[in-house]
Amino acid sequence: MNVADLPKIELHLHHEGAAPPAFIRQLAHEKRIDLSGIFKPDGSYDFRDFAHFLSVYEAACEVLKTPEDFRRLTLAILEESAENGVVYTETFLSPDFCGGGDLAAWKDYLNAIQDAADEAERKYDITLRGVVTCVRHFGPEQAKRSAYCAAETAGDWVTGFGMGGNESIGAQGDYNWAFDCAREAGLRLTTHAGEFGGPESVRDAIRHLDVERIGHGVRAIEDPDLVGELVDRGITLEVCPGSNVVLGLFPNFYAHPIARLRDAGVKVTISTDDPPFFHTTMRREYEMLNKAFGWDDEDFTALNKTALDAAFCDDATRENILKRLEKP
Ligand code: ADE
Ligand code: ZN
């Protein structure tokens, strides 16, 4: 079997970042908003570096204005993911882009997203769960609003809380209140660290936010003691190799540390982050990892098992997904 045909689990996907450029252009056309500056002549997203990527991302979000926009977006994302063999996804949803942090508005967006997820589960046999994320460069006060939205809607579907955004601004510990609020509501925790921040950012995430998963975390490779700590604590990394290569952390897949981290005993998983921005899909990530490291069915089956163990869903859902992974 071609490894790319295996069923897949994805734990790190930004909802707006998964919007195909054609989808964003269509909404811009319907709403008469000029977004021509964020696309290349070939229609793909146009950005120079990480900071510019974040501003193009936020510009694209300007056309995602209503719960109905998010309903359509969710269906489009899940159709595409299912075509790439994904059976379970955890998506990052930001109240900042879904009602600006207002709880009543957030509930309307969430209902629309969950409706679309139910429809996609029936049509495409893919399961979605939500991880509410605050955005680091929007600051700790706005993060509190996101955490409050997360806490008020925590349950079977909203299962986690996390943080994305520009890691060079502030410190992980500035967001303590938000993470404590989410933890007290029973949510499982993850944060972006060790992507543009170095090993000290990963250490801060562990020390100050007590997360069980880390988004990226790949720059831990620069510090062997930290790699040992990740192993000892059983922390899972949500690794997004294609994203890291496009954003210039590593020159290519061959130089990516995912294999070294795995071989050192760190729990690694594979995701796409913002697939159309980085010209990737889960299928392509598998193909590239197979090419770069010779990973075969057995390797990917073990990685999926690691991902399923680290998934924030309840045990009944986990059992269900396990059956889908085992289906020939
Ligand atoms: N938001 C969307 N993609 C991101 C990334 N790769 N890092 C941090 N924040 C993000
Ligand atoms: Zn991310």
Return the pLDDT at 1.
Answer: 78
**Domain identity same for 153 and 29:** no
**Domain identity same for 151 and 190:** yes
Give me the tens of pLDDT residue by residue for the chain, a chain 328 residues long.
Answer: 799 999 999 999 999 999 999 999 999 999 999 999 999 999 999 999 999 999 999 999 999 999 999 999 999 999 999 999 999 999 999 999 999 999 999 999 999 999 999 999 999 999 999 999 999 999 999 999 999 999 999 999 999 999 999 999 999 999 999 999 999 999 999 999 999 999 999 999 999 999 999 999 999 999 999 999 999 999 999 999 999 999 999 999 999 999 999 999 999 999 999 999 999 999 999 999 999 999 999 999 999 999 999 999 999 999 999 999 987 6
CB 90 within 8 Å of CB 84: no
**Domain identity same for 94 and 40:** no
CA 47 to centroid of ligand 1, rounded, Å: 13
Q: Residue 136 CA: which ligand is closest?
A: 1
**Domain identity same for 51 and 74:** no
Q: What total of structural domains would you count in the chain?
A: 2
> Is residue 158 left, alpha or beta, with left meaning phi > 0 and alpha meaning psi from -120 to 50?
beta
**Domain identity same for 119 and 53:** no
Ligand 1: which residues within 6 Å by Cβ?
14, 17, 57, 164-165, 192, 195, 243, 273-274
Question: Letter for the amino acid at 141?
Answer: E
Return the pLDDT at 328.
Answer: 60
Return the pLDDT at 142.
Answer: 98
**Domain identity same for 310 and 181:** yes
**Domain identity same for 158 and 51:** no
Domain interval for residue 73 = 3-19+67-325
Cβ-based neighbours of 17, under 8 Å, separated by 6 or more: 57, 273, 274, 275, 276, 277
**Domain identity same for 202 and 240:** yes
**Domain identity same for 230 and 308:** yes
Return the pLDDT at 190.
Answer: 99
**Domain identity same for 30 and 132:** no
**Domain identity same for 37 and 151:** no
Return the pLDDT at 9.
Answer: 98
**Domain identity same for 77 and 24:** no
Helix (H) or strand (E) holding 299: helix 297-310
Return the pLDDT at 170.
Answer: 95
Residue numbers annotated as active site: 195
The pocket of ion ligand 2, defined by CB under 5 A, consists of: 215, 273
CA 318 to centroid of ligand 2, rounded, Å: 23
CA 127 to centroid of ligand 2, rounded, Å: 20
The closest residue, in CA terms, to atom 8 on ligand 1 is 165
CATH of the domain at 192: 3.20.20.140
DSSP 239-297: E-HHHHHHTTSSSSGGG-THHHHHHTT-EEEE--BSTTTTT--HHHHHHHHHHHH---H
